[in-house]
Structure 1
Amino acid sequence: MFRRLGLVLPPLLTLLVVTVPATAASRPVVVAHRGASADAPENTLSALALASRFGADMVEVDVRETRDHALVLMHDTTLTRTTDAESVFPRRAPWRVADFTLAEIRRLDAGSWFGRAGRGQRVPTLREALRAMSGSGLGLLLEIKEPRLYPGIEARVAGELRRAPSWPAAGRLVVQSFDWGSMRRFARLMPSPAIGLLGTPSAADLPALAGFAGQVNPPYQDVTPEYVRLVHRHGMRVFAWAVDDPGDIQRMISGGVDGVITNRPAVARSVLQDDASRRAA
């Protein structure tokens, strides 16, 4: 639980993550992009905790690998945008995640760039994030970033997830990447999580991809009702990213998506509630 890690929060909302067939979603799942990243430093434990408070169903996190093969939450190839690596290690340009050990990365501040309230946040490991989320009711959408840079990362992610067996068993876990070949390899290593493919596959590609993937997750600008129906016909779900504007969120709902990936989960939850009220009236 987040409280065990020293994060002082109001009682967590009781959340329900429903696993439904691709063609029968009653409402889209709200996925907090890098946690509640509009209101907390992305990919930190505070962003995950805030996602829970804001009513997200799932959180999306980005995973990369350190020089000593630790799995850490970090979106960028380098540490410069979201940590103080340049000042702590001034001679280590270009500050690639893969060039630092976990012990070195633990020295970095991963929150001050976001504002004073984020000061002192650290880069969490995947294991720490899984432990923090345990019991929160949140599902997890785990993106493996640029797997070509970290040969064998699929096996190491699978191994970490096996050490947290409640995740694959609960049906609340999706592993995704822009690298569809990596996701095919991951599916062979660990068939229990759903596999997500980032991007917008062509109609011709969908039959083969449906053989190992359960989701197609395109940028929201590419989403049309016709494309959603096409993906659904192949038995896969559609999670659109990263959509923050209420009008765009409503368009995704009307278009039949199964999930909205957003930096503002509280806004998405409000739009969903308004939409449900209109349908019930």
Structure 2
Amino acid sequence: MMHPYFDPERPRVLAHRGFVPPDAENIVENTFAAFAAAHAAGVRYVESDCHLSADGAVILFHDTDLTRVAGDPRRISDVPRRELEKIMAERGGLITLPQALEAFPTLRFNLDVKADDAATAVGEAVAPHADRVLVTSFSDRRRMLALRAARAAGGDPATSAGTVRTIALVVAVASGVPWLIRRALRGIDAVQVPERRGPLRIVSPRMIRAVHRSGVEVHVWTVNDADDMKRLLAAGVDGLVTDHADRAQLVIGGPR
């Protein structure tokens, strides 16, 4: 049975770190303003990233430190929430995971746990909202820590494969052995991958068919070119993770 995170309408547009409109000034990704813009554009799914502040707040922020976004070399984990709020006030507004889940009750969140120390707190925060949350991480260990915390708190979010599981899937698809494919996808609701990793092609019609036979979705990141979007959708992918949610919605013919 499909997890309630996935509504019946496909394909899905996942707004990568929210949506920063082309004409936006002083607004950066993963902020209150970016999520509000995604919501206003009619997006139903947003992708974001989780770190823990120095005082234990789950912050939606991609990078390990503030260098790229604010010219500050300090790590997120070394800065208290209140100070982060001041730094981000003129950049779209810092937002914590609980704030995002409460402020945008109709959005579905695809959450990448970026730090080991954030995993348990993420799981506990999403448990009451598990029907509209997908938890992922490049680290399968970190992903499972978050899932266990959510389940202990009474929630069961969807999840997508981490790096180890994805490698196992690529090998299994290449082998063509059905039980290996099923094992790689056990407990997984979506495979979220780039189309290629260097010279290695990950997403192919053969891979998409194999994943679909196990009742699992394929989402591709990060797809910003309209022609690439059309080609991947024609191949059968279920979701596009994109910085240009407005463009993706035009490609698919309306909000998703």
Same fold (TM over 0.5): yes
Q: What fraction of aligned residue pairs are identical, expressed as a percent?
A: 32
**Superposition deviation, residue 207 in structure 1:** 3.2
Report whether the alignment pairs 1:160 with 2:125. Answer: yes
- The CA distance in 2 between the partners of 1:210 and 1:130, in whole Å, is 28
Gaps of 5+ in 1: 1-16, 21-25, 87-93, 111-118, 275-281
Query: Could you tell me how far apart the structure 2 residues matched to 1:176 and 1:206 are?
Result: 19
C-alpha spacing 1:123/1:264, structure 2 compared with 1 (3 Å): same
- 1:18 is displaced (CA, Å) by 4.9
CA distance in 2, matches of 1:158, 1:66: 16
Inter-partner Cα distance in structure 1 for 2:226 and 2:210: 25
Residue 254 of structure 1 is aligned with which of 234, 243, 248? 234
Counterpart in 2 of 1:128?
99
Distance 1:182 1:245 in 2: 31
CA RMSD of aligned residues (A): 2.2
Q: State the shift of 1:103 in Å.
A: 2.0
Q: Mapping of 1:100-139 within 5 angstroms?
A: 100-109=79-88, 119-134=90-105, 137-139=106-108
Equivalent of 1:239, from 210, 213, 219? Answer: 219
What is the alpha-carbon distance in structure 2 between the residues aligned to residue 214 and residue 269 of structure 1? Answer: 23
Q: 2:144 aligns with which of 179, 184, 187?
A: 184
Q: 1:203 & 1:234 partners in 2: Cα distance? A: 16
Aligned pairs for 1:26-45 (under 5 A) are 27-37=10-20, 39=22, 40-45=27-32
Residues 262 and 268 of structure 1 are in contact (CA less than 8 Å); yes or no, is this contact kept in structure 2?
yes
Distance in 2 of aligned mates of 1:155 and 1:143: 13
Normalising by structure 1, report the TM-score. Answer: 0.73
* Counterpart for residue 143 of structure 1: 112
Cα deviation for residue 64 of structure 1 reads 0.4
Q: Quote how far apart the aligned CAs of 1:83 are.
A: 2.2
Return the alpha-carbon distance in structure 1 between the equivalents of residues 140 and 162 of structure 2.
8
**C-alpha spacing 1:101/1:206, structure 2 compared with 1 (3 Å):** farther
* CA distance in 2 between partners of 1:50 and 1:57 (Å): 12
Decide whether aligned partners of structure 1 residues 269 and 47 sit closer, same or farther in structure 2, where only a CA change above 3 A counts.
same
Does the C-alpha gap of structure 1 residues 19 and 121 become closer, same or farther in structure 2, counting only changes over 3 Å?
closer
Aligned length, in residue pairs = 226
Q: Which residue of 2 aligns with 1:62?
A: 49
Q: Give deviations 1:117-171, integer Å, cap 9, x for gaps.
A: xx3532211111112212xx32111111143xx2xx2221121123xx2x22xx3
Q: Hey, which of these two has a bigger chunk of helix by percent?
A: 2
Equivalents in 1 of 2:144, 2:98: separation in Å? 23
Post-superposition offset of 1:34: 0.2
Q: Secondary structure at the match of 1:208?
A: helix
Q: Are the equivalent residues in 1 in contact too, given 2:192–2:220 (CA < 8 A)? A: yes
Give the 3 Å change call, closer, same or farther, for CA 198–37 of structure 1 in structure 2.
farther
How many angstroms does 1:219 deviate by?
A: 0.8
